Chains A and B, each alone.
Chain A
Amino acid sequence: MLLIKCPYCEDERPELEFRNAGEAHLVRANPIVDQSDDDFAAFLYFRQNPKGLQFERWRHIHGCGRFFNAVRDSVSDKFLTVYKAGEPKPNVEQLVTRGTTPAEAVVESPAPRTPRTKKAEA
C-alpha cells in the first residue's frame, strides 16, 4: 500500500484514505464566454496524462477532507512532493536533481492542449 503525505495532516497516511481528483492547476477562463468552443472543450475534457511526472489533485477524503496537490511519477507511482491547494507549482527540475526520483522518471514539458475530436472529424 502506498503511503501518501497529506500537507494538512502533516503525516504519511495509507492510500485507502485518499482519492485522486484528476489533473491539477486547470484554470477556468474568465470570462468563460469569451473562450472558443475548442478551448473550452480542452479545458473541460482533455488531460495531459503524461508518462512520467504529473501534477495531480488529491483529496484526503477519509482523513481531514482537504484537497491538495501532488507531483507523482505515473510510471513508478512515487510521490515527489505534496503541497496545499492554492500554492504555486513546485519547481520539478529542482526536485528531480535533488535525487528524490527514480532514474527512469521523465520530465515532460506539457504539450499544448489540442482537442482530439477535431482529428477524428477531419
Chain B
Amino acid sequence: MVETIQATRLHPLQSGRTGPAAVSVTLADNATRVSLRARPDAVAALSKALGLALPTKPKSTAVNGSRAALWLGPDEWLIIDDGESNLVADLAKAKVLHSAVDVSHRNVGIIVSGKGAEGVVNGGCPQDLSERAFPVGAASRTVLGKIEVVLWRTAENTFRVECWRSFSPYAFAFLQVSARDIWV
C-alpha cells in the first residue's frame, strides 16, 4: 500500500511551524563582520593579527573562540565575530597591504537547525549539501532562491545563512516556508 499524506491548505502569510517540522529557523546573535581582501603574501601577518589561520582552501573555514574566518574567494574572506573582541582594531595591527571593510550591519545571520536542516536550505540552494560535498566547517557564497547568501555549516544539522540586510525578510520567510515543508 502506498502511504498517502493529506495536504492541508495554509494561509500564505502564516509563518512558523504548523506541522511536525523538526527544523528551526531563528535569528543569529548580532556580530561584528569584516569583509577582508588580501593577496597571498599578507595572509600570514593577517592570520597572526586575527588569532586564527586564514583558510586558503576553497569552501573552508577556521574558527577560534567566537571568531571565524570563511574562505569566499582566492583573496577574500568573511570574518564573523559574535563575541566582545574588537575585530577591526585587531586587523589594524597588521601592517601589511589589505582591505578590511566593516560590514557588520550589512549582513543578517539566520540559523537553520535541526534534523533535516540540509533539506531546508536545499529548498532554495542548488549546491550539493550532502556531508560528502559540504561537510561540517564548509562555507561558501552561493544562492538561496533569488538572492545571494553566504552559507556555513557549523554542525551536522546546523547551517548559518548570512544574507544582506534588505534581503533578510525574504530569506527568513523563504527558510521558514521551506522548513514547514520538510518532513523528517
Q: Which residues of B contact A66 (CB under 8 A)?
A: 73-74
Could you tell me if A16 and B58 are in contact, using CB atoms closer than 8 angstroms?
Answer: no
Total A-B residue contacts, Cβ distance less than 8 Å? 40
Q: With the chains together, A17 CA to B143 CA distance in Å? A: 7
Q: Which of A26-34, A57-65, A99-107, A111-119 contacts B (4 or more CB under 8 A)?
A: A57-65
Contact residues on B (Cβ < 8 Å of other chain), bracket:
10 to 19
A residues less than 8 Å from B76 (CB atoms):
64-65
Q: Beyond A8-B58, A9-B58, A11-B58, is A64–B141 a contact (Cβ under 8 Å)?
A: yes
Q: Name 14 A/B residue pairs within 8 A (Cβ), A-sorted.
A: A8-B58, A9-B58, A9-B140, A11-B58, A13-B142, A14-B127, A16-B143, A17-B126, A17-B142, A62-B148, A64-B73, A64-B76, A66-B73, A66-B74
Apart from A1-B126, A8-B73, A10-B58, 6 more pairs, CB < 8 Å: A8-B74, A9-B140, A11-B59, A13-B127, A17-B126, A64-B141
B residues at A contact (CB < 8 Å) = 58-59, 72-74, 76, 126-127, 140-143, 148
